[in-house]
Amino acid sequence: MRYVSLVDLGSNSARLVVFELDLGKGFRLLDEIREVIQLGAGIARNGALSDEGVARALGAVRTFSDFAEAASFPKPRIMATSAVRSASNRDALLRPVRAMGLEIEVLSGEIEAAQGVLAVANSFTLTDAWVIDLGGGSMQVSQMRRRACVSGSAHPFGAIRASEQFLSEPDPPRPQDIEALRNAVDRDLGSVLARMRSEPLPVIVMGGTVRNLARAVQREAAYPWPQMHGYCLDGRGLERLIAQLCSLSVAERAGVAGINPYRADSVLAGALVLQHILSEADRPNLTVSAYGMREGALMQEFLPAPHLLEDVRAFHVRNLAWCYPQPAEHNRRVVDLSHQLFEALSPLHGYGAPEAALLAAAATLHDIGKTIGYRGHARHGEYLVAEGMLPGFDHREQALLASMVRYHRAGRPSGAPYRSILRKGDRRLLEQMTVCLRLAEHLDRSRTGRVTGVHAVIDNDEVTLELQADGEPWVELWETRKQAPLFQSAFKRRLRLVVELA
């Protein structure tokens, strides 16, 4: 076990994150401190860091360093991006930080882009994509091929810089100011946009501005899933939000649901840049990444080169289970028995590998709520799945997983809280997969592994489950028979159990 402290000195905010990790096995966020420093304020006008911005940044660095030292965490690795990189007077910040016994890594645009791609490669199942990191001072546009960064370029359209240069006065901005920003994006990114049109890969966007925009769109639509990572931000929703923001002053934008007041002065510029890229690249939507440069740096600490997870989905399921550990043998048996039931009942449900993978993930996570407490552990587990990070799964899949965990022991699953993001037929899927999980749980109810295998004999009106057992599984039979009504509802067959002793 070891700890990693990372600091991102951005144009708008500075953030310290501390991770606990077991190399190659699992990691978790232990703590974070965020300070709004607006280090990039004024860069677009005079090319230099302001005295006030430097003072705020130094205060944040001192705070982060003191926290790490007091808590016996390692000295933080401090990474600075566009604001420091482009400032003519960056030594005004670097020298006093060096006097504290710390160093600031000033990342080039190419390195910043590569770390963003590394974050995407380890948090999505994509192999190829366009990756945009929209910061406060600059915007990195990268192409990911075979999970590696093959090109990356920095552009002067971070939300703060673009706002100061094009939209600072009057308030709200005039149509001609908005058009000037769009024309500038066209001039600077023309060749990139042409490539994006000719290579129609998914567009993944990271950064606080896009998360803030997505949160506002989610609030307006009463979106039911709490996580931001993997959210598909529809271009039409973004256009509606832009139309609203364009009519408001900065003070009024701060009151829009989902908009962080600290970003009210810059969020419109970021929205206009993204909307123009989507329009010119002929994309209907973009996907939000909650992972960014910091997580790319984390992967460099967590994994050997080339710092790539072998299986993104499988790792993040294991990682969530690692964060909330439960007895491994019982978990292994429930995973195994649920898979045997899935296979045995396949003539009735007709599902394939994607659904089998969802069931396996739910079986792995079914008991994590016991970390909070036994009573209500199914509800606790649903909460942990919903609030925890499961990169590689879309929001629909995560909602199904949370519901399966919620009903793995009792109750009738419906997916009602998440209905707006589920598909037609998902209620049937949820009910049938939950039956497989629940039967597997009860077939190891004594947690002794007495039931070792399951076969099914399927008739027109009945399913006989033939249980291979090493001893008389009295409690397993007692508990599993109680699930006959749910089984019949899901599979339209009566449930019968027989035991074959070894």
SS (H, E, C) 51-119: HHHHHHHHHHHHHHHHHHHHCCCCCCEEEECHHHHHCCCCHHHHHHHHHCCCCEEECCHHHHHHHHHHH
Closest CA relative to residue 333, chosen from 404, 437, 407, 409: 437
Q: How far apart are CA 269 and CA 164, in angstroms?
A: 9
What CA–CA distances, in Å, run from 446 to 371, 401, 474, 481?
A: 19, 24, 9, 15
CB proximity list for 24: less than 8 A, separation 6 or greater: 302, 303, 304
* Two structure tokens written together for 204: 């993944």
pLDDT score of 437: 98
Architecture of domain 2-107: 2-Layer Sandwich (3.30)
Q: In a structure prediction context, what are the per-residue pLDDT tens digits for the chain, which is 502 residues long?
A: 899 999 999 998 999 999 999 988 999 999 999 999 999 888 878 889 999 999 999 999 999 999 999 999 999 999 999 899 999 999 999 999 999 999 999 999 889 999 999 999 999 999 999 999 999 999 999 999 999 999 988 899 999 999 999 998 899 999 999 999 999 999 999 999 999 999 999 999 999 999 999 999 999 999 999 999 999 999 999 999 999 999 999 999 999 999 999 999 999 999 999 999 999 999 999 999 999 999 999 999 999 999 999 999 999 999 999 999 999 999 999 999 999 999 999 999 999 999 999 999 999 999 999 999 999 999 999 999 999 889 999 999 999 999 999 999 999 998 999 999 999 999 999 999 999 999 999 999 999 999 999 999 999 999 999 999 999 999 999 999 999 999 999 999 999 999 999 8
Angle at which helices 426-442 and 484-491 pack, to 10 degrees? 150
Domain locations in the chain?
A: 2-107, 110-294, 312-501
> What are the phi and psi torsion angles at 171 (to 5°)?
-130, 115
What is the number of other CB atoms lying within 10 angstroms of the CB of residue 485?
A: 11
Cβ 146 vs Cβ 127: under 8 Å? yes
Q: Do domains 110-294 and 312-501 have the same CATH topology?
A: no
* Two structure tokens written together for 100: 């504290």
Strands, E, within 126-220: which ranges?
129-134, 139-145, 148-155, 203-206
CB proximity list for 270: less than 8 A, separation 6 or greater: 134, 158, 159, 162, 163, 207, 209, 210, 213
Q: Which class would CATH give 110-294?
A: alpha beta
What dihedral angle (degrees, nearest 10) is formed by the CA atoms of 157, 163, 166, 167? 150
Give the neighbor-by-neighbor strand order of the sheet with 104-106: 26-36, 13-22, 2-9, 77-80, 104-106
Q: Which helix (H) or strand (E) holds 495?
A: strand 494-501
Half-sphere exposure (Cβ direction) of 280: Cα atoms closer than 13 Å:
20
Cβ 293 vs Cβ 110: under 8 Å? no
* Two structure tokens written together for 112: 């910043």
Cα angle value 199/200/205 (rounded, 5°): 110
> What are the phi and psi torsion angles at 348 (to 5°)?
-90, -35
Tokens 């190419």 locate to 110
Q: How far apart are CA 152 and CA 146, in angstroms?
A: 15
CA–centroid distance for 223 within its chain: 16
User: How is 408-461 classified by DSSP, letter by letter?
Assistant: SSSS----GGGGGGSPTTHHHHHHHHHHHHHHHHHTTTTSS--EEEEEEEE-SS
Most distant pair of Cα atoms in the chain: their distance: 82
Cβ 465 vs Cβ 456: under 8 Å? yes
* Two structure tokens written together for 93: 């910040």
Provide the CATH topology of domain 312-501.
Answer: Hypothetical protein af1432 (1.10.3210)
pTM score, whole prediction: 0.94
Cβ 66 vs Cβ 25: under 8 Å? no
Three-state DSSP class for residue 12: coil
Q: How far apart are CA 499 and CA 465, in angstroms?
A: 8
- Looking only at the bridges linking them, the beta strands covering 285-289 and 203-206 are parallel
